[in-house]
Structure 1
């Protein structure tokens, strides 16, 4: 895959800065947590399982003994859990320098959450939208007191946002896509991640509507990485087949190591090489500015999705203030 000259070791000292990484207990998320902690950051690991998060923390401490890591309970399949997690974080930290919406699922069989949404759309997009929404006031407050461009939000997406979406990009008439393939549902959720960043940048970016409340944003395609996601796609093939296929793909160099998959997230959330002028960018492997799909560049589609999501969440009574 293409690579830039970026080296994760080049990021500045992050001591005193707090970050939240969802799905930080495994895979790319865990590697991202370790990379930030290595440079002095305080990192909250957003995960459903406390036990798995504690195992991840213990593992990271073996190589980064000084790591300042904390568990934050969040279940992305439960919107009330997401709102509660944001509230808990706001009560426990005075400033938040970075949010990495990293957790996700891919290619799983069709299912609907207890909240009534298709599980990939809620896990990958809706819950991260809600988490971001509730944390924006803290991010904005931090930005007002910090060096311009130092407060950031990253959505981890994939090139699936281009290859697997329905024809409409976001099918507002049938968001569940029950009759479509699992990967089409996945692609729609990943496109939603990119559109979310596009509109968030329109509001809070360096040239956004709220110029005094600057948040630098990025959507990141981490690459084709050997993670647990590859074992989840049971809607495409049984686990007995996925395992051997994944091992072959790794041997052929089609799948890369998890540490490398974290490079682009670390680049976008903390590197001085990713500046204010890059806000709203789509970052591709590894730590390079790329070009997302045509639908992902559609500002009107981004605004429509944001407005639809805000109305959905407001109608459920889980939003506190109105944002544009």
Structure 2
């Protein structure tokens, strides 16, 4: 895939800064944690399994003894867990310099969360929207007391946002898409991640007159086609046996790239001095380049409608 000249080593010193990476115990998230801590940042690793997170932290610290990583109990399939995680951060940290909404699931069979939403729709989109909402005051106060561009937020999406969505982009009357295939459900959730970024930038970014000196820089990142466990989860798209065989073949053919590269665009967007104020709200593509998302993703009215739908949906449940 095309690449800019960016490399993680070009990121400035991040000592004293605090970041959250959801799904930070494996795959791209883990590599993002490594990239941030290698530059001196304190990182909260959001994960639902404490054992897996602590094992990942131990593994990272064996190679990077100075890595300052803390487990953050976060189950994106449960709204109450999301709210509790945000509350813990607000209580424990006076500042938050970056949030990387990285965790996600792809192509899984249809199922509902404890909150009654389709699993991909909640895990990939709704819960990250809710987490962002509850952390926004802390992000804003941090932005207000730091140099412009210090505080940033990254939503991970994928090119699936352009390839697999319903014709309308978001099917508001049936967000669960139970009768559709698993990849359409995935694509809709990934489009929602981009539209979320558009609205965040409009409300809280440098283009917002109201944000003032509390402006945050935002981006939606397509990390690339990376060899992670995400590919093995997609049993709603292909049988598990086929996925086990196909994934290593795609890696050998260069269709799937190494996990380290999957973190490059996230690191670029959240911490690089090469990501500029004018880039806020952008769609970042492999690797560390500004790209162009789909027509639906550039639809300002659709972004506004999704924001209003989400706010109403979660607000009605008393979650905001």
TM-score, normalisation: structure 2: 0.99
Cα distance in 2 for partners of 1:173, 1:100 equals: 29
Shift of 1:211: 2.8
| Correspondence for 1:130 | 130
Shift of 1:210: 2.1
DSSP 3-state at the match of 2:107: coil
Cα distance in 2 for partners of 1:169, 1:37 equals: 37
TM-score, normalisation: structure 1: 0.98
| Correspondence for 2:153 | 153
DSSP 3-state at the match of 1:155: strand
Shift of 1:259: 0.3
| Correspondence for 2:32 | 32
Shift of 1:209: 4.2
Indicate conservation of the 8 Å contact 1:31/1:262, yes or no.
Answer: yes
Cα distance in 2 for partners of 1:254, 1:5 equals: 21
Shift of 1:207: 1.1
| Correspondence for 1:255 | 256
| Correspondence for 1:277 | 278
Shift of 1:204: 0.8
Indicate conservation of the 8 Å contact 1:202/1:209, yes or no.
Answer: no
Deviation string, structure 1 residues 222-245 (Cα, Å, up to 9, x no partner): 000000000000112222221110
Cα distance in 2 for partners of 1:216, 1:236 equals: 35
| Correspondence for 2:207 | 207
Cα distance in 1 for partners of 2:47, 2:41 equals: 18
Deviation string, structure 1 residues 57-93 (Cα, Å, up to 9, x no partner): 0111122110000000010000011011000111111
With 203-212 and 143-152 compared, the bigger mean Cα shift is at 203-212
Unaligned stretches of 5+ residues in structure 1:
320-324
| Correspondence for 2:193 | 193
| Correspondence for 1:322 | none
Unaligned stretches of 5+ residues in structure 2:
none
Cα distance in 2 for partners of 1:272, 1:52 equals: 33
Deviation string, structure 1 residues 1-44 (Cα, Å, up to 9, x no partner): 01001111000000000000000000000000000000000000
Give the total of aligned pairs. Answer: 319
Shift of 1:200: 0.2
Indicate conservation of the 8 Å contact 1:224/1:255, yes or no.
Answer: yes
Cα distance in 2 for partners of 1:50, 1:161 equals: 31
